[in-house]
Amino acid sequence: MTGTGAPSRPPTFVVGSGGLLGRHVRLALERSAAPVSTVSVPWHDPIAAREVLRSELTSFLGSATAAAAASDGRVNIAWCAGAGIVATPADELETEVSLFRDVLDDLRAALQPDTRLAFFFASSAGGVYAGSADPPFTEHSEPRPLVAYGRAKLAMEEALTEFCVETGSVALLGRITNLYGPGQALSKPQGLVSQLCLAHLRGTPLPVWVSFDTIRDYLYVGDCAEMVAAALDGIHEQARTSGTNAVVKILATGTGVTLAAVIGETNRVFRRRARLRLPGAGTPSHTRDLRVRSVVWPELGQRSQTPFSVGVRRTADEIALAYAAGTSALPTQVSEISIR
């Protein structure tokens, strides 16, 4: 486990700090002078992963609680991990859900009576609302996932809600829209902006299975990370005023962008048209309109946002550097994208 930061703010343990969101959350917390702890987890081995997380989280809670007088006993956990995507098989997702439940069981045993735990969980707006009616969807819309990915996110939300009720902890269930930005895992068949940038650089056609009028809300990862950091600061008060231990909050820009507009923006950045391959009809689980509008804790989203054009440019610049360097992190072929 690694730790950084000054002891004047609640310490935070970031799970999944090597991923797109987790890396940016760690940076946002460090910029705010919060002590941050991370750990490398062997996610490919659920048994070993649980052992590592149990050991490190128990150690974190013990040391953090002992030194938390300056923060009124507050400690934070930001769960930004998750290997699953829309196309992940149900059995693999169930393994991920089971591990999450096991970790919560271990946390129950490790919590001290005077610990005031705040938990952030990275959920998915696209996965949860894929089958819901009447967009734009809000926190009050009925969740209707269409695939196992969305059902897994809901199951993890429910497990964390139960944990908070039992332990007196508080949580933000962050239903995040389509994240994009520097650091996207290009080996996964997701991340439309990143995959388009890579296709531009390689000059290879990108398979697109959905219609050009498909609407999504694209949230720059740095902006999302700042919202997570702010949420951890205010979630105790928000939970008190809302009367619930687990607060559901959509993290989004509130602006829907069509697939055609995304393609147009990358074309503008690279000054040429992307090569696209249109195999045919989309998948049955595809939802055309996934606009959202957050009505819970609106102050959290009232901060300056990175313009989409700027975010695309930053993403393109990072991928171009990796491409020029011939980094092994780049996949050998362009993925078939999965739009949540």
User: Is 157 within the bounds of a domain?
Assistant: yes
Which SS3 state, helix, strand or coil, does residue 276 take?
strand
- According to the model, what pLDDT value does residue 69 have? 57
- According to the model, what pLDDT value does residue 9 have? 83
User: Is 338 within the bounds of a domain?
Assistant: no
pLDDT at 301 over 70: yes
Q: Are residues 103 and 232 in the same domain?
A: yes
Q: Are residues 100 and 235 in the same domain?
A: yes
**Structural domain boundaries, residue 124:** 2-177+220-251
Q: What is the CATH number of the domain that holds 12?
A: 3.40.50.720
Residue 105 pLDDT level (bands cut at 50, 70, 90): very high
Q: Are residues 125 and 231 in the same domain?
A: yes
CB 287 within 8 A of CB 132: no
Q: Are residues 6 and 38 in the same domain?
A: yes
Structure tokens given for 312: 């695309």
Q: Which residues contact 82 (CB under 8 A, 6 or more apart)?
A: 16, 19, 96, 122
Tell me the pLDDT tens digit for each residue of 119-168.
999 999 999 999 999 999 999 999 999 999 999 999 999 999 999 999 99
Q: Are residues 164 and 297 in the same domain?
A: no
User: Is 20 within the bounds of a domain?
Assistant: yes
User: Is 339 within the bounds of a domain?
Assistant: no
Sheet arrangement for strand 74-79: 2-4, 36-38, 12-15, 74-79, 116-124, 170-176, 246-251
Q: Are residues 133 and 203 in the same domain?
A: no
Average pLDDT, the chain: 90
User: Is 331 within the bounds of a domain?
Assistant: no
pLDDT at 72 over 90: no
Among the ranges given (24-33, 40-49, 114-123, 299-308), the one the predictor scored with the smallest mean pLDDT: 299-308
Cis peptide before 7 (omega within 30 of 0): no
Q: Are residues 74 and 195 in the same domain?
A: no
- According to the model, what pLDDT value does residue 280 have? 61
Alpha-carbon dihedral sign for residues 314, 319, 321, 327: positive
Q: Are residues 247 and 268 in the same domain?
A: no
Q: Which residues contact 132 (CB under 8 A, 6 or more apart)?
A: 141, 142, 143, 144
Residue 10 pLDDT level (bands cut at 50, 70, 90): very high
Residue 243, Ramachandran bin (φ over 0: left; ψ between -120 and 50: alpha; else beta):
left
**Rounded percentage of the chain residues whose pLDDT exceeds 90:** 74
Q: Are residues 138 and 13 in the same domain?
A: yes
pLDDT at 64 over 90: no
User: Is 200 within the bounds of a domain?
Assistant: yes
Say how far apart CA 161 and CA 148 lie, in whole Å: 20
Residue 328 pLDDT level (bands cut at 50, 70, 90): very low
Q: Which residues contact 86 (CB under 8 A, 6 or more apart)?
A: 126, 127, 147, 149, 190, 285, 338, 339, 340
Structure tokens given for 146: 């269409």
- According to the model, what pLDDT value does residue 336 have? 52
- According to the model, what pLDDT value does residue 66 have? 65
Element of type H or E holding 117: strand 116-124
Q: Are residues 83 and 143 in the same domain?
A: yes
User: Is 91 within the bounds of a domain?
Assistant: yes
- According to the model, what pLDDT value does residue 278 have? 80
- According to the model, what pLDDT value does residue 299 have? 92
Residue 204 pLDDT level (bands cut at 50, 70, 90): confident
- What does the DSSP assignment read for 28-68? HHHHTT--EEE----TT-HHHHHHHHHHHHHHHHHHHHHTG
Q: Are residues 135 and 198 in the same domain?
A: no
Q: What is the CATH number of the domain that holds 281?
A: 3.90.25.10
Higher pLDDT residue, 328 or 319? Answer: 319
User: Is 129 within the bounds of a domain?
Assistant: yes
Q: How many domains does the chain have?
A: 2
**Rounded percentage of the chain residues whose pLDDT exceeds 70:** 89
Q: Are residues 271 and 172 in the same domain?
A: no
